[in-house]
Amino acid sequence: MPDEEDLTLLARCRAGDRAAFAVFVRRHQGAVLRLCRALTSSAADAEDAAQETFVQVWRALSSTDGDKRGDAPVKAWLLTIARHAAWRRHRRRVGEPTHTDGLEAVDAAPVAWGALGEAAGWGQDPEARAAAVEKKACVQQALQRLSESDREVIVMRDVLGLSGDEAARALGLSLAAEKSRLHRARLALMAHLGACREVQS
Amino acid sequence: MTPTMKGERHVGGLWCSEVLALLTRYLDGDLTDDELAMVKAHVGDCSACAQFGGAFHKAITALRDVDVDSDSSADDVDVSDRVLAAID
């Protein structure tokens, strides 16, 4: 989706054009809702978080301080707002702080890829994972079982198709940390796919 | 480096665990020419890595547009009316 079309729409929104804003919402609500569903694990919370996201966008566009997007791509900017809205909803429900912030140091630490690879099923019979990949329920279940930080990076990159740079910006990470986290998340997904009961039974 | 996975081999200048560490960069087209040549040489002669790499790629492809909520699709939801009502 070319950014220029979004920038044109946002310029019209900034001038108070509600019809343009409705178009912007419809263009992006699929991605915002998918991310919010993945982070809140609740369709109702996700819709509330999506509404909150777009209301915040409208207010930012109307603000005399500017929208604070800087040079970020529109989608990365929008999903940053959505990510925070979703975590706020989730925290309100589960009542505990999420552990997604301040992980930069962890991401920079050396990773024991061998141990992660074995857990992900390297060297084992690939049939179980091949069968699990074919089943939508197994893929959904594996996504839900990922840690919060693994889930958000994989949803941004592999479900929504953001570029590495866009996802890194939306997550507030360096590109190197984002790539490392994505690889760890993908290996963890493989481990969960291998444990899908629907295939084992 | 020393092997860290049971049964891993040293093929094409890389251990299996080293290939495993490069898989995401490989799929994202992010390897240097030298790294790419080594990974290809390894995978061409290592069935464990070839099989795992294939399954890994399939799993990532299967994620595209998956909805985490299994009961309904996010595509069927339209929040634009409630958003417009909220900004009044």
Give yes or no for B63 touching A (CB within 8 A). Answer: yes
pLDDT of A26: 95
Q: Pick from A130, A186, A173, A87: which is nearest to B63 by CA?
A: A186
Residue B28's contacts (CB-CB under 8 Å, 6 or more residues apart) are A164, A179
Q: Is-same-fold flag (A1-100; A110-201)?
A: no
Interface contact flag, A133 B55, Cβ < 8 Å: yes
Between positions 126 and 165 of A, the ones with CB within 8 A of B are 126, 129-130, 133-134, 136-137, 139-140, 143-144, 154-155, 158-159, 161, 164
Are A33 and B79 contacting, i.e. CB atoms less than 8 angstroms apart? yes
A28 vs A16: CA distance, rounded Å: 19
The stretch A4-32 carries a mean pLDDT of 94
Q: Compute the nearest-CA separation of B21 from chain A (Å).
A: 6
Which CATH number applies to A110-201: 2.60.40.650, 3.40.50.150, 1.10.10.10, 3.40.50.800?
1.10.10.10
pLDDT of A172: 93
A159 vs B86: CA distance, rounded Å: 29
Q: Which residue has the higher pLDDT, A101 or B49?
A: B49
Interface contact flag, B67 A21, Cβ < 8 Å: no
pLDDT of B69: 63
The stretch A86-97 carries a mean pLDDT of 81
Interface contact flag, A21 B84, Cβ < 8 Å: yes
Tell me the pLDDT tens digit for each residue of A124-174: 877 778 888 888 889 989 999 999 999 999 999 999 999 999 999 999 999
Interface contact flag, A143 B63, Cβ < 8 Å: yes
Measuring CA to CA, how many Å separate A180 from each of A107, A109, B4? 6, 10, 19
Q: In chain A, which residues have their Cβ closer than 8 Å to the Cβ of B35?
A: none
Facing B74 at nearest CB: one of A34, A41, A154: A34
Residue A51 has pLDDT above 80, yes or no: yes
Measuring CA to CA, how many Å separate B67 from each of A8, A34, A49, B19? 30, 6, 16, 31
pLDDT of A196: 87
Residue A99 has pLDDT above 60, yes or no: no
Between positions 12 and 41 of B, the ones with CB within 8 A of A are 16-18, 20-21, 23-25, 28, 30
DSSP string for residues in chain B = ----STT--EETTEEHHHHHHHHHHHHTT---HHHHHHHHHHHHH-HHHHHHHHHHHHHHHHTTT--S-SSS-GGG---HHHHHHHT-
Q: For A162, which residue in chain B has the nearest alpha carbon?
A: B64
Domain coordinates of chain A in residue numbers?
A: 1-100, 110-201
Residue A46's pLDDT band, with cuts at 50, 70 and 90, is very high
What's the mean pLDDT when you consider all of chain A?
87
pLDDT of A201: 55
What is the percent of chain A with per-residue pLDDT over 90, rounded to a whole number? 59
Q: What global pTM score does this model have?
A: 0.87
Q: How many C-beta neighbours within 10 Å does residue A125 have?
A: 10
pLDDT of A63: 83
DSSP string for residues in A142-164 = HHHHS-HHHHHHHIIIIIS---H
Give yes or no for B88 touching A (CB within 8 A). Answer: no
Q: How many C-beta neighbours within 10 Å does residue A107 have?
A: 18
Flag residues of chain B having pLDDT under 50: none
CATH of domain A1-100: 1.10.1740.10
pLDDT of A134: 86
Interface contact flag, B70 A140, Cβ < 8 Å: yes
Residue A104's pLDDT band, with cuts at 50, 70 and 90, is low
Q: Helix, strand, or coil here: A174?
A: coil
